[in-house]
Amino acid sequence: MKLFYVIVGVAGSPFPVDIEPSETVGDLTKAIKKENKCRFKHVDAYDLQLYLAKKDKGNGAWLTEDDVATVRDDAVFQTYKLMKPTLFLNNTEICGESINQCDVHVLVKAPMRLPTIHQLHYRHFTVGSVDIRTKKSMTFDPPPLVRFWRALQGDRTEFKADAVLTLPEGTFLLGNPMLGSRIYIRHCYPRLWQVCLKMINDEAMNTPHLVILGNPGIGKTYFGYVILWLLARSGNTVVYESRVCHRRFLFSQDMVVQGSKKDFIEILEQTTTYYVVDGVEPRYYSAKTILLTSPQREVWYEFNKDDCRSCYMPVWSRDEVLTCRELMYSDIPESVVQDCFRRWGGIPRYVLHYATAGGRQQWLEKAMENITLDSLMDACGDLYENPSEESLHLLHYRVTKEFNTDYFDFASQYVLEEVYRRLYNHNKKKLLEFIDKSGWVGAAAVLRDHLFEVYTVAASLTDEDGDGVAVEQFKANKLL
């Protein structure tokens, strides 16, 4: 039979190809490559993607020659159905109705533009107007990363609270199946992104660098993926670097390159480039740089000194946790999530992702195991310098609507009361003297106010004005 195909992004009329109905889509791919030896000289057949040229993901009408001009390169995978290589061409999915020879039957999506043989020979390639030296550490257009970047470029999910960005089947964040293929849009993400753009584009302040801090496990890494998505849709060039991946990725409109942590210097010195860094100390470049990290001094402190501003991401609200559970973790009973939230507060890593991981759930108790008033005061004082992982389980940054930090809260009422109980049992006199003193300032004053809150409740439950608080009385009144 004769089929007509269009190469997406290539001007001209549909091209015909003759093939037997008993052949597969994979065979059709090889036939199309053979018909385009020059065009696809450096592209393997398996890197070509064929889409059924029917509107509405294969449920609508065949495309006509006049429709071809409306096919957008960045939205093919969202609008048209990918043809599986193992599918036979006489399958009802393709030939369920008579094929009109005036129609277009197949859309061919080639990989993003690769460097030419000339460029590789002279050890350079071009992104925009910037020449970049080619190195052995670089891999051009790795298919999993290409699928990820294409998906971001073409996705038109509305950027609003409680939306879920879902990548196409078989496409994963950064091309890594371990990272999944969905992102929940937190309530703070749209406003935080506007703050980011305002800060790094503020010519008066001249601060093209930004640090986003916050408690571990609240979605900073996934906000980094959201930033990639938004920049992909805007056609920006981005270099992404991650502590977990130990490498850099260059994403441009028509190319994806994987490299080492020392690559892409030329493009990073461009003020139009975005440099998104997750959990590792960034190098200083002219690019607009956004560092997302937990408050580990060795990662962010030095970078934050020059031409840089900072802001904080808040922990999750109960509504966010429950909505995300319904949308993405529906296999976990709501009662389990509610109980985890009661203990951990708004940390989805432990409230959702590790909700049923008994070993991880015990980490909260371990963080309180040997707590004393002195160690707690040290933790509060270190919260903005170099906090320990254990202290960040117990203390959450209190974040304003402008994404500034306003001292801290305890992770939950459960943690506050459990800490109070342990301090009381360890050294009752020292605790009550600390609470009784009103001259504390800074973090110590905030800590005193939190502990005083429990003290006043305890005092109302005893005849000893708080001095004889019994754990049993707390439990009886559902305070513990």
The domains of the chain are located at: 2-109, 117-312, 362-476
Phi, psi dihedral angles at 185 (to 5 degrees): -85, 110
- pLDDT greater at residue 51 or residue 337: 337
Phi, psi dihedral angles at 459 (to 5 degrees): -65, -35
- Mean pLDDT (the chain, rounded): 88
CA 266 – CA 253 distance, rounded (Å):
17
* 477, pLDDT greater than 50: no
- When mean pLDDT is compared across 69-83, 89-103, 285-299, 350-364, the lowest value belongs to 89-103
CA 67 – CA 224 distance, rounded (Å):
36
Torsion angle defined by CA atoms of residues 260, 265, 269 and 270, in that order, rounded to the nearest 10 degrees: -80
Question: For 5-34, what is the mean pLDDT?
Answer: 86
Which string of b and e fits 210-219 if b means at least 16 CB within 10 Å?
bbbbbbbbbb
DSSP state of 352: I
DSSP state of 47: G
- Closest by CA to 77, choosing from 103, 104, 36, 107, is 107
* 442, pLDDT greater than 60: yes
Question: Cα–chain-centroid distance for residue 78?
Answer: 21
Residues 255, 132: contact at Cβ < 8 Å?
no
Tell me the CATH architecture of domain 2-109. Answer: Roll (3.10)
Residue 52 identity (one-letter amino acid): L
* 117, pLDDT greater than 60: no
CA 30 – CA 294 distance, rounded (Å):
49
CA 262 – CA 264 distance, rounded (Å):
7
Tell me the CATH architecture of domain 117-312. Answer: 3-Layer(aba) Sandwich (3.40)
Q: How far apart are the first and last CA of the chain?
A: 75
Q: Which residue has the tokens 């507060």?
A: 345
Tens digits of residue pLDDT in 411-432: 999 999 999 999 999 999 999 9
Q: For the range 264-267, what are the long-range contacts, defined as Cβ-Cβ under 8 Å and sequence gap of 24 or more?
A: 264/132, 264/239, 266/130, 266/131, 266/132, 266/133, 267/127, 267/130, 267/132, 267/237, 267/239
* 472, pLDDT greater than 60: no
CA 147 – CA 151 distance, rounded (Å):
6
* 69, pLDDT greater than 90: no
Q: For the range 6-9, what are the long-range contacts, defined as Cβ-Cβ under 8 Å and sequence gap of 24 or more?
A: 6/53, 6/63, 6/68, 6/71, 6/104, 6/106, 6/107, 6/108, 7/36, 7/39, 7/108, 7/110, 8/71, 8/73, 8/76, 8/107, 8/108, 8/109, 8/110, 9/73, 9/110
Burial category of 467 from C-beta neighbours within 10 Å (exposed 0-12, middle 13-18, buried 19 and up): middle
Which string of b and e fits 242-270 if b means at least 16 CB within 10 Å?
beebebbbbbbbebbbbbeeebbeebbeb
DSSP secondary structure of 149-166: HHHHHH------TT-EEE
**Predicted model pTM:** 0.76
CA 394 – CA 334 distance, rounded (Å):
23
Q: Pull the structure tokens for residue 201.
A: 């584009």
- When mean pLDDT is compared across 64-78, 142-156, 191-205, the lowest value belongs to 64-78
- Closest by CA to 284, choosing from 260, 311, 304, is 304
The SS3 assignment for 53 reads coil
- pLDDT greater at residue 415 or residue 384: 415
The pLDDT confidence band at residue 465, using thresholds 50, 70 and 90, is: very low
CA 136 – CA 164 distance, rounded (Å):
38
- When mean pLDDT is compared across 68-72, 287-291, 312-316, the lowest value belongs to 68-72
Residue 421 identity (one-letter amino acid): R
Q: Which residue has the tokens 């009361």?
A: 417
Per-residue model confidence (pLDDT) at position 392: 97
CA 429 – CA 416 distance, rounded (Å):
18
β-pairing, 274-278 with 288-292? parallel
Per-residue model confidence (pLDDT) at position 214: 97
The SS3 assignment for 424 reads helix
Tens digits of residue pLDDT in 305-359: 888 999 999 999 999 999 999 999 999 999 999 999 999 999 999 999 999 998 9
Per-residue model confidence (pLDDT) at position 405: 93
Is residue 256 within a helix (H) or strand (E), and if so which, with residue range?
Answer: strand 256-259
- Closest by CA to 212, choosing from 191, 239, 232, 231, is 191
Contacts of 26 (CB under 8 A, 6+ apart): 45, 46, 85, 86
